Amino acid sequence: MARAGFAERQRTAARFELLDIELLHCHEELRPDLLERVMREIREDGYVKKPILVADKVYVILDGHHRFEALRRLGCRRVPAYVIDYFSDVVDLTLWPTAQEKKVRKEDVVERGRAGMLYTPKTTRHTVRIQLPDVFTDLEDLM
């Protein structure tokens, strides 16, 4: 019986959507070299393999800032995303070892994302305790 409950939480914890690009808020700055590489890869492939991760209701990007910005610069109006309950126990927040910040809470990520007060690149590291499969999404479907 406990397994069924866990499986139900997994199904409802995150949902795949094509989100309007204008709804989304970044909480970290970008690395120009990585952005160029991601743009080139998406342009050459003609699709996005991995959806970004977005906090439900507040539309703050948790993972995928470079994919988001690459799609924006390529003229896309929509972005493939997993929308997740950020404050659930399904999402863990840690910091990268190179982060300048010493303590960041989920509330801080949301607040700074909504206010446009960006952390330096690779400050936060979000991991999810459920499997989020790749979803190959054609660029044409995002225009």
Q: Which residues are catalytic?
A: 28
Torsion sign over Cα 124, 122, 9, 54:
positive
What is d(CA 143, CA 20) in angstroms, rounded to the nearest whole number? 10
Please name every residue paired with 52 in a beta bridge, in sequence order, or none if there are none: 81
User: Based on the number of CB atoms within 10 Å of its own CB, is 139 exposed (0-12), middle (13-18) or buried (19 or more)?
Assistant: middle
Give the residues across from 93 on adjacent strands.
126
